[in-house]
Chains A and B, each alone.
Chain A
Amino acid sequence: MQYKQILLTGLLCLSVFTLWAQQPASLSGTVKDNEGAPVPGTSIRVGGSRQGASASHQGVYLLGNIKPGTLTIEFSAVGFSRIVKTMTLQAGEKATLDVVLFRKAAQVKEVNVTGLTASQQVNRQSYAVTSIDAKPLHNSSQDLNQVLGKTAGVRVREEGGLGSGFNFSLNGFSGRQVKFFLDGVPMDNFGSSLSLNNIPINLADRIEVYKGVVPIWLGADALGGAVNIVTNVKTRRYLDVSYSYGSFNTHRSAVSAGYTDEKTGLTVQGNFFQNYSDNNYWVHTPVTDLVTHEVGPERRLRRFHDRYKSETAQVELGVTGKKYADRLLLGIILSQNDRQIQTAAQMSRVYGGWNQQSTTIMPTLKYKKSDLFIKGLDFNLYGSYNFGSTQDVDTVNRVYNWAGECIDNTFNKDGQYVPGAENGRSLYKFSNNLAIAKSSLSYNIGQGHSAGINFTFSSFDRQGRDPLKPNDLANQQPKKLRKSVIGLGYKYDYNDKWSTSVFAKQYIVNGESTQKVDIYTNPRYVPVDNAFSATGYGLATSYFLFSNLQLKFSYEKTYRLPEGEEMFGDGANVIANINLLPESSDNLNLGAVYSRKFGEQHRLVMEGTALFRGAKDFIRMDASDTRVQIVNLRDVRMLGGDADVKYAYSDFFTAAMNATYQHLINTTRHERESSNEISPIYKDQIPNIPYLFGNLDLGVKFKKVGFSHARLALNYHLNYVHAYYLKWPGFGYSWEKNDIPKQLSHDISATYVLQNGKYNVSLECRNLTDERLYDNFMLQKPGRAFYVKLRYFLSKY
């Protein structure tokens, strides 16, 4: 929605002919739909003039500098019936007018089909975008990863239970090719203590998933797409308290509260959440005898060194609705986490003493002002700096097996202390000193034209040391990376049916790092040149062929810049690769959305996207041994698609299904530059990437269960992932290949809601049939698990 805010929002048309003889009046208010949800992007026009505005994300609009008198004001929004109001304004009067818009009859009214109201608005953009309405999920004990994992095109590969490492992939692009944003703010510098695997779903109002082309207002170098988590900012006063408890001694609680004083505009918002889990779920694994080293028969054992805990506080204080600022918020994010590490990249290597800790101390600034200097010019600013640090602690000189038994080598036979470790002896502690500044200007030219410019700057400056290796020169070398992305966009809405955006982005990278040269003759560190600059561009267009069939097309030439952690490592598992190159890609998306109502009760929405990607210097994660390195691997071509079908019968029953197929092939023709031999894996399928998966969701809702104000919802979810090979499909005997087997899992849940959402209780069972689930080779995920969640929610618009 920020797209609307930044690029479309704002007053239309500076009226040059306005006479300023009288003191102008102003009009403000909110636009909501008949269900009480705001209608962002509503266009408000003053009859007989070229003056206008569009409603913000919260549905709030402001028409300043209106010539007093009797006015007709027209409210219109895509998919809603137009409303015209007449009123008389006195000189200097500051009037308010709230309106309710009704959906057009032809428009599908979606109920509990993911994609509602505000979400639907997002879905109507020209970009290939899916918006997940998070509100119905607020009673669920899922985290953001689990919710995203149910979306077409998305696959979240988790290494284990709560807080475990994960790899997010979107249409075959993975890792940091996909960028994450919280309210349009890049999450790059949040640190591991604030990530998709620990942010509770309650924090999100909705989640937008951009597949492929990413609009410029997100202003980053996303290449494979972007995920924007939109938090609940539209309610002025709210309190959301929840607590969940479940299998593996999992405790999660979240408190979210916001308060805005309507007179003074004073705003306070706070999010506090906590996660704890022993993650001691059952795994099926052989146990290695610590004496003979024989790998014994498979046993069912609990994980024993996988505890995860995190605590986060995010507080913002400021003002809203002031002359100098629509919104000015100063905030801080404080968070810490502590994670034990149970296994290496494959489960055969087990640890019992290695852990990692990290903290985030991050002040933030958010500023927003419409009509800056001139009407129709909107300005947005965001800045943050993360002072937090991460430490890798591996000093336990023991060898563990899956039974939790160990051989302690801390002291030798003679009783002397022996320094050692499980993976790599380390007390390395570092801070990335990540700063991000983002600003945007948008100007609504009027008559459907709008333009915007966006500037994102980030600076990474790694400082770290290891008390065990105080003289290690490598830790004293500069590790700096600065990136700037400037985006220019222009949008033209020809009419209600056709909308087109064109954009260009300039990418600029420079950094400071060194490598050791002349190691034998004159060893010294010399600077490495990481400077890079390139221009990307693209186009997104959409057209309503019929009122219920929208076609979308987008193309982008884009670049993905390496990140600090990828170039300099994470101090623990990810090792440095200072020569990492930016990846470039041509992305084409073609999509269609069809919605239809059958009679009064049946509603159907179908969506399909076809994708093509041609990527050069594909940046991938290379997980070997216990360590990971980010490398440029090959040129890759992807052809794929996803489909999404949703059906609803009244408010009673919903069904949703999606499927994703993505065929990634290696298009590197020669293995070595010197060789002109065609590679045996030319055009072979890229291994170890899930390529076929799908989800099915069924839900029923009962009203007046027990009490007149009580509702009961029952949901069933099925997830399917087709088997895929760990290594290149073309090599080896077909019966001697390693694969990640087919996955089929079932989740069920029941939610009981009292007093229209004030009190909520939900029960959830994940992996009902206790299937053995793997997202990665031989890395088992939790079996059957139960969760209960209690939630109290109070809000006032």
Chain B
Amino acid sequence: MPALAAAMIVSASSCSSDKKEVNPDDLVNEDNSTFVIAVTAEGSASEATDYVLQSKDLMTGLITPVGQGIEQKSYRMYEVVGKTLLSITYQGTNIVPGYALNDKGILTKKNGEFSILRLHARGVVDENRLFGMFVPRDGSAEATFYEINASNMRVDKQAKINVFEAANNGKEWAYFNDVRLVGNKVFAPFFQIRNSSFDTEYADSAYLAIYSYPELKLEKVIKDDRTGTLGRYASNDVLAITESGDVYTYSAAGAIAAGNVPSSKPSGILRIKNGTTDFDKDYFFNIETATGGYKLCAMKYIGGGKALAQIFSFKDHVAGDKWTNRDCRLAIIDFSTKTITDVAGVPLHTGGSLQYGCVVDKTVAYLQVQNGEGIHMYKVDLATAKGTKGAKVQGKAVMGLFKMTK
């Protein structure tokens, strides 16, 4: 008994809980706003998990999960739907918790959880609803579509979508990477794969499936041969829906990154005009012509017919880049004038993060910039296209960056 007792004393302090409180004044601005940052902390493989942190500002100091943050059970993805932050399963457990700011402005777990498969495509519909899609890659025939109600923390609707039917060539299947409600249709761009290594023979066209809503019956698949497949693996924000209801979408065509394979077509932007269900034959923005041969990596709509874009800074995409998005520069694209403005003051960084690591706050955008020097927050003045370096983030990745107001 003495040995056990002694050993227990040694460790008695290690699992005890201290005061369970934080000071809201440290985390919440006077206008009741707070930045929410989900950081994947350092650690090897799956012992590394996410911590959801709050911060008043992103421009000073160190954003670190050491001793702070709400621990997640695994590597997650995040989406803010209305007032709810959803921590969406990607690995391990398939339970989705929701968080909301309490009356003090502190992020607190909401009642209720729901259970879904991992999501490869997501699209926020409105203040309450989120579309999500799980896409199989083991040869199973059906993807699962979810309509998630974040206010009630439940799934309102679930449907099966045949991935072979959308691809319609008998050999490969559709791998969706965005799912949006456009008018009364569901738009779902996809690339094709024939195995879990993401091999495909269909890299030279853009594909987008259009489903009826709410029946989710496949109405048509539209195809365009001017560019390659749309988006990248689980890239989301593949579609940019403007205030006028036009849909712009991009292809990284041939930029080997995030599952993308080589293509003979140039990287570019396509349009589907409001009220139509076809690619606009009269619109194509050839990014490679405009940039002198570089390809788009990712894009995020910032309003006014413009988008923040990450453009690869190199032309020779090699096999080793398959799961990277290395060395991108930041630019602002104007869809209608077909112009590209480089953002000054932001170094080359890993692309693909615009979808989850970027928040647009009126005239500025905050985004995480990850490169050999680690991760830093940057503020970009959207009017002047000037970036400013902000806080350092201690961790492996930023998986979510939002501004929430109670």
Q: Enumerate chain A interface residues (CB-CB to B < 8 A).
A: 288-289, 291-295, 344-346, 348-349, 397, 409, 412, 418-421, 424-426, 468-469, 472, 516-521, 608, 620, 622-625, 629, 631, 633-634, 643, 645, 657-661, 671, 674-675, 677, 679-681, 685, 687-688, 691-692, 694, 720, 722-739, 777-778
Binds A, one of B9-17, B176-184, B284-292, B338-346: B9-17
User: A residues within 8 A CB of B94?
Assistant: 348-349
User: A residues within 8 A CB of B113?
Assistant: 294-295
B115 touches A730 (CB 8 A): no
Whether B65 is near chain A, meaning CB under 8 Å from some CB there, is: yes
In the bound complex, how far is the Cα of B262 from the Cα of A687, in angstroms? 41
B15 touches A725 (CB 8 A): yes
In this complex, the member of B11, B47, B67, B146 whose beta carbon has the largest number of chain A beta carbons within 10 angstroms is: B47
**What 12 additional pairs, Cβ within 8 angstroms, besides A418-B160, A418-B162, A728-B47?**
A293-B154, A294-B155, A625-B74, A631-B45, A661-B10, A671-B42, A679-B42, A680-B64, A680-B65, A730-B67, A733-B69, A738-B71
Contact partner, B136, options A294, A420, A625, Cβ 8 Å: A420
Q: Can you offer 15 A-B residue contacts whose CB atoms are under 8 A?
A: A295-B113, A418-B142, A419-B141, A425-B139, A472-B195, A516-B197, A519-B197, A629-B45, A659-B4, A671-B42, A671-B396, A692-B11, A727-B43, A728-B47, A734-B16
A737 touches B374 (CB 8 A): no
User: A residues within 8 A CB of B49?
Assistant: 727, 731
In the bound complex, how far is the Cα of B73 from the Cα of A703, in angstroms? 54
In the bound complex, how far is the Cα of B16 from the Cα of A720, in angstroms? 17
What is the minimal beta-carbon distance from B299 to any residue of chain A, in angstroms? Answer: 24
In the bound complex, how far is the Cα of B136 from the Cα of A316, in angstroms? 49
A291 touches B158 (CB 8 A): yes
In the bound complex, how far is the Cα of B51 from the Cα of A510, in angstroms? 42
A425 touches B140 (CB 8 A): yes
Whether B282 is near chain A, meaning CB under 8 Å from some CB there, is: no
Q: How many residue pairs at the A-B interface have CB separations less than 8 Å? A: 204
Whether B383 is near chain A, meaning CB under 8 Å from some CB there, is: no
Contact partner, B93, options A348, A629, A724, A735, Cβ 8 Å: A348
In the bound complex, how far is the Cα of B322 from the Cα of A420, in angstroms? 27
Nearest chain-B residue to A633 (Cβ)?
Answer: B44
What is the minimal beta-carbon distance from B48 to any residue of chain A, in angstroms? Answer: 8
A727 touches B114 (CB 8 A): no
B158 touches A724 (CB 8 A): no
A731 touches B69 (CB 8 A): yes
Whether B243 is near chain A, meaning CB under 8 Å from some CB there, is: no
User: B residues within 8 A CB of A734?
Assistant: 16-18, 20, 67
In the bound complex, how far is the Cα of B319 from the Cα of A294, in angstroms? 42
B65 touches A292 (CB 8 A): no
What is the minimal beta-carbon distance from B394 to any residue of chain A, in angstroms? Answer: 6
Given A294-B153, A671-B42, A728-B47 in contact, is the A680-B66 Cβ separation under 8 Å?
yes
Interface flags for B26-40 (1: CB within 8 Å of A; 0: not) read: 000000000000000
Nearest chain-B residue to A643 (Cβ)?
Answer: B3
Contact partner, B15, options A292, A426, A723, Cβ 8 Å: A723
What is the minimal beta-carbon distance from B119 to any residue of chain A, in angstroms? Answer: 12
A634 touches B156 (CB 8 A): no
B44 touches A622 (CB 8 A): yes
B8 touches A722 (CB 8 A): yes
User: A residues within 8 A CB of B139?
Assistant: 419, 425, 468-469
What is the minimal beta-carbon distance from B398 to any residue of chain A, in angstroms? Answer: 15
Interface flags for B145-156 (1: CB within 8 Å of A; 0: not) read: 010000001111
Whether B298 is near chain A, meaning CB under 8 Å from some CB there, is: no
User: A residues within 8 A CB of B85?
Assistant: none
Whether B293 is near chain A, meaning CB under 8 Å from some CB there, is: no
B138 touches A735 (CB 8 A): no
What is the minimal beta-carbon distance from A393 to any residue of chain B, in angstroms? Answer: 14
What is the minimal beta-carbon distance from A402 to any residue of chain B, in angstroms? Answer: 10
Given A622-B45, A731-B69, A736-B71 in contact, is the A348-B115 Cβ separation under 8 Å?
yes
What is the minimal beta-carbon distance from A660 to any residue of chain B, in angstroms? Answer: 8
Given A728-B47, A731-B66 in contact, is the A739-B15 Cβ separation under 8 Å?
yes
Chain B, range 71-117, C-beta contacts under 8 Å to A: 71, 73-75, 91-95, 112-116
In the bound complex, how far is the Cα of B134 from the Cα of A349, in angstroms? 15
What is the minimal beta-carbon distance from B359 to any residue of chain A, in angstroms? Answer: 23
Chain B, range 229-277, C-beta contacts under 8 Å to A: 256, 261-262
Contact partner, A722, options B15, B95, B162, Cβ 8 Å: B15
Nearest chain-B residue to A401 (Cβ)?
Answer: B115
A624 touches B115 (CB 8 A): no
Given A425-B139, A645-B3 in contact, is the A674-B45 Cβ separation under 8 Å?
no
What is the minimal beta-carbon distance from B210 to any residue of chain A, in angstroms? Answer: 19
Given A520-B319, A727-B47, A737-B71 in contact, is the A691-B11 Cβ separation under 8 Å?
yes
In the bound complex, how far is the Cα of B48 from the Cα of A660, in angstroms? 27
B140 touches A421 (CB 8 A): yes
B91 touches A624 (CB 8 A): yes
In the bound complex, how far is the Cα of B115 from the Cα of A289, in angstroms? 9
